[in-house]
A and B are shown apart, each in its own frame.
Chain A
């Protein structure tokens, strides 16, 4: 299982700050986004803008995620 932290509108749409996705080695950020949307269809409208962070750094769609990595998913940032 991969635990994914959600923030801002992604958290609000899903209704919880952390979700679990079954995970095995060798899968990518893009596969995670697809799995998230399949399980939580409310994320579909923002899928193209969702960002994924792995171990506190932004990760590209083709990056691998290992079980045990710290993973977060969120929309574009708007601090300041």
Chain B
């Protein structure tokens, strides 16, 4: 399951959706809104996405991961819109027969998501200024 949503992410339901008796390991990654970045204080993040392309790129990442690890099920949900401190921006759940495969596949998916999936975030700092995050 791959989804972009403006609603809070139900990571319990996402995790349940990848569980099966074929898999001895389920890994869940949650990305959450962090308060401090290099000494500056965040009060909120705004996420913008290009949903159609984002879903296409995520589907490509899923198939790349499936070609490298014996994945049973994958679920990826990314949230868009206004998020407060501690809110969950992204959830990735992966099930595999064994734990090493599940950890590696989960790491691959979040690392690649951050590089190639068209989603952007804007910091809202505690001094009232805002700034698009564009990694160099």
A interface SS class: mixed
* Inter-subunit contact A53/B118 (CB<8 Å): yes
The reply to whether B90 and A79 contact each other, CB–CB distance below 8 Å, is yes
* CB–CB B118/A74 < 8 A: yes
CB-defined interface of B24-65 with A at 8 Å, one 1/0 digit per residue?
Answer: 000000010000000000000001111011101100000000
B residues near A57, Cβ cutoff 8 Å:
53, 56
Taking a contact as CB atoms under 8 Å apart, the answer to whether A76 and B135 are in contact is yes
Chain B residue numbers with a CB within 8 Å of A7 are: 48-50, 118, 120
* A78 at interface, CB cutoff 8 A: yes
B19 contacts the other chain (CB 8 A): no
Q: How many contacting A-B pairs (Cβ < 8 A)?
A: 74
Contact of B53 (CB < 8 Å), options: A56, A75, A78: A56
Q: How distant is the Cα of A76 from the Cα of B116 in the complex, in angstroms?
A: 9
Q: A34 to B58: give the CA distance in the assembly, Å.
A: 30
What secondary structure prevails in chain B residues at the interface with A? mixed
Task: Pick the residue among B54, B78, B119 that contacts A78 (CB under 8 A).
Answer: B119
Number of interface residues of B (CB under 8 A): 29
Distance from A65 Cβ to chain B, minimum over Cβ atoms (Å): 15
CA distance A58 to B90 in the complex (A): 22
When the two chains form their complex, are residues A79 and B47 in contact, meaning their CB atoms are under 8 A apart?
Answer: yes
**Contact between A78 and B134 (Cβ–Cβ < 8 Å)?**
yes
Q: Is the CB of B110 closer than 8 A to any CB of chain A?
A: yes
Contacts of B78 in A (CB 8 A): 79
The reply on B132 being an interface residue by CB < 8 A is: yes
Chain B residues whose C-beta falls within 8 Å of the C-beta of A72 in the assembled complex: 50, 53, 118
B132 touches A8 (CB 8 A): yes
Kindly state the separation between the CA atoms of A53 and B56 in the bound complex, as whole angstroms.
12
Cross-chain contact A78 with B56 (CB below 8 angstroms): no
Kindly identify, within residues 19 to 73 of chain A, every residue whose CB is under 8 Å from any CB belonging to chain B. 49, 53, 56-58, 72
Measured between beta carbons, the chain A residues less than 8 angstroms from B54 are: 79
Contacts A8-B48, A49-B134 known; A74 to B120 CB distance under 8 Å?
yes
Partner pick for A9 among B90, B114, B132, CB 8 A cutoff: B132
CB-CB nearest 7 A-B residue pairs: A79-B119, A8-B120, A78-B133, A80-B114, A56-B53, A9-B132, A56-B56
